[in-house]
Structure 1
Amino acid sequence: MVQAYNFLASWQLFPEKCVYESGNVPKSGNYKIESILNGKSLQISMNWITIENEAYYAQFSVVPDGSLQPCEYQEFADTVAAEISDTSKLIHIFFKNNQQVLSVQHRILPNGYLELFYQGKNTNGTEFVNKEVYHKQMSVLPYASSVGSVAIQPTKQGMIKHKALSAMEAQTNMQLEQIKQQIELLAKQAQEIRKRRELSLMIYDAQMNFKPQIGQIYHLYENKDGNYLLSLVAPKEWAGKGPFKQFVATVQLLADHTWVEVA
C-alpha cells in the first residue's frame, strides 16, 4: 500500500473552495483515510455537519486493487471498485444493478491539498459533478462533507458526539489562540531585544568624548570615514554643516546599558 501513503490522513474541508451541483452544502466536514488489515484495505470515514446542524456519518472499507467488491451500503450500491493509479490519484466507483451510480476521484494537489471529484446522477437522472477540497486536519473534530457519496440518516449518537466534540474544539482552539498570542508577543519582544543589541554594539563601537548617562538622549552619526560618532548635538543644531557623512538615529541609554532608538 505504498502508493496510498499520501492519502492516509484526516482531511478537513475547505467549504469556500468547494463546488456543489447536487446535495446539501455542508458547513464543516472531515474525510479520513486509514490503512487496515495489515495494509491490504483502505477504510474511509466521513463525518459532516449540515447548515441545519444535523450530524451525518458514513464508513466503508475497500481493497484498492481494481476488483469489484460488495458495498457496505446496499441501499446505495451493490458493489464498489477502487484503484490507486499513482501516488497522487485514487478512484472509487460505485455500482447499482451493474450500472455505475457514482465515481469519486481523489487527487493530491501540488500544494498538498486533497481534491475530490464526485460524478454521478441525481434521482431524476440528471448528471452532476461536485468538487471538494481538503487540507490535512490539525484538530481532532471529525466533521466531513461528502454529500455526493452515501446517503446516511442523522443519528442521535452522532449529535451527542458532535456537541461534545464541538465544546472540546472550542476550548482547545481558545487555548491554542492564547498560546499563539503569547508566542507572537515573545517573538516581538525577541525582535526588539535583538534590535537593541545590534544598535548597542554599533554605539559602543562608536567614537564618544563623554560618559553617557542613563535616560539621556543622544544622536548617532556616521563619519565620512565609515566610523560612527555619538554626539550630544541634534541634527538640526548642525544647520546642515556637521562634520559627518549622515545622521543615523536618535538614541537613549536604558538602565540595562542597552540603547534604544527614539523618535
Structure 2
Amino acid sequence: MKKKNTQDQEVQGAQKNKQVKEIDVDQIDLERMKDRTTDLPALLEYAHSIGGFSVVPTEQGVIKGQAMTAMKEQTEMHMEQIYDQMKLLAEQAHKLKRRAEVSFEIYDAQMGFKPVIGNIYYLYEKKNKKILSIVSPQEWGKTMPFDQFLAKVKLLADHTWEVLEDPAGN
C-alpha cells in the first residue's frame, strides 16, 4: 500500500514540474510526417537526428545522382511506351469484342440470300428483329423500311464480319 502511495506522489510531483500537453490528433499532418521519415535514413540529404551531420555530396555522389536521374527518365519513357501499347491493345480488344458481337447478331439475323466472302452488307433492325441486307441506308433514302441502321459490315474469309461502319460508335 505504501508503495502505491509513493508512486502516486511521484506522478503528481512530475505533473507539477512539467505541464502536461494534450496531443490534438486532428492537428497532426500525416503527409508531412511521411515525407520526414524513412526506412533508410542513410539515403536522406539532411541529418536525420539531433546532433547528426548533414550529408554533403561528393563527386561520386554527384555522378550517382546524375545516373539516377538518367535512369529515372529512361524508366519513365519506357513506362509511357508500355502504357501506349496497353492502350492500343485495349482498343484492339474492344474492336474484336464488337466484331464478335456483330457477327453473332448477323448470324441471328434474317437474311434472304447467301453472303459472299469479301462483299459488303448492312445490318438493320425492325421491330426488335435483325435483318441483313445488300442495300445501303443511302440507297433506301427516305423510304427505308427499317427502324434502325446498326452496322455496315464485310464478310471475311474466316466467316467473321469486319465492322466498317458502326453508327452506335461501339
Structure 1 residues 167 and 255, CA gap change in structure 2 (3 angstroms) = same
Q: Which position in structure 2 is the counterpart of 1:161? A: 64
Residue 149 (structure 2) aligned to one of 243, 247, 254: 247
**Pair 1:58 & 2:46 matched:** yes
Q: Name the structure, 1 or 2, with higher relative contact order (CA <8 Å, separation 6+).
A: 1
Q: State how far apart, in whole Å, the 2-side matches of 1:260 and 1:238 are.
A: 22
TM-score by length of 2: 0.65
Q: State how far apart, in whole Å, the 1-side matches of 2:86 and 2:95 are.
A: 14
Query: CA deviation digits over 1:191-235, x for unaligned, max 9?
Result: 1101111111111111011111222111111112x1110001112
What's the % identity of the aligned pairs? Answer: 45
Structure 1 residues 179 and 208, CA gap change in structure 2 (3 angstroms) = same
Structure 1 residues 35 and 174, CA gap change in structure 2 (3 angstroms) = closer
Structure 1: which 5+ residue stretches go unaligned?
12-30, 37-42, 47-56, 62-70, 75-150
Q: Which position in structure 2 is the counterpart of 1:216? A: 119
Structure 1 residues 32 and 205, CA gap change in structure 2 (3 angstroms) = farther
More helix by share: 2
More strand by share: 1
Q: State how far apart, in whole Å, the 1-side matches of 2:70 and 2:36 are.
A: 21
Query: CA deviation digits over 1:127-173, x for unaligned, max 9?
Result: xxxxxxxxxxxxxxxxxxxxxxxx76543233122012123223322
Q: Which position in structure 2 is the counterpart of 1:195? A: 98
Q: State how far apart, in whole Å, the 1-side matches of 2:70 and 2:144 are.
A: 66
* Superposition deviation, residue 176 in structure 1: 2.1
Q: Which position in structure 2 is the counterpart of 1:235? A: 137
User: Amino acid of the residue matched to residue 173 of structure 1?
Assistant: E
Give the total of aligned pairs.
138
Q: State how far apart, in whole Å, the 1-side matches of 2:76 and 2:114 are.
A: 52
Q: State how far apart, in whole Å, the 2-side matches of 1:58 and 1:164 are.
A: 21
Based on CA coordinates, which of the two structures has the bigger radius of gyration?
2
TM-score by length of 1: 0.45
- CA RMSD in angstroms comes to 3.2
Structure 1 residues 32 and 216, CA gap change in structure 2 (3 angstroms) = farther
Q: State how far apart, in whole Å, the 2-side matches of 1:183 and 1:164 are.
A: 28
* Superposition deviation, residue 44 in structure 1: 8.6
**Local SS of the residue matching 1:240:** helix
**Pair 1:175 & 2:78 matched:** yes
Structure 1 residues 59 and 260, CA gap change in structure 2 (3 angstroms) = farther
Q: State how far apart, in whole Å, the 2-side matches of 1:177 and 1:246 are.
A: 41
Query: CA deviation digits over 1:52-110, x for unaligned, max 9?
Result: xxxxx21414xxxxxxxxx1347xxxxxxxxxxxxxxxxxxxxxxxxxxxxxxxxxxxx
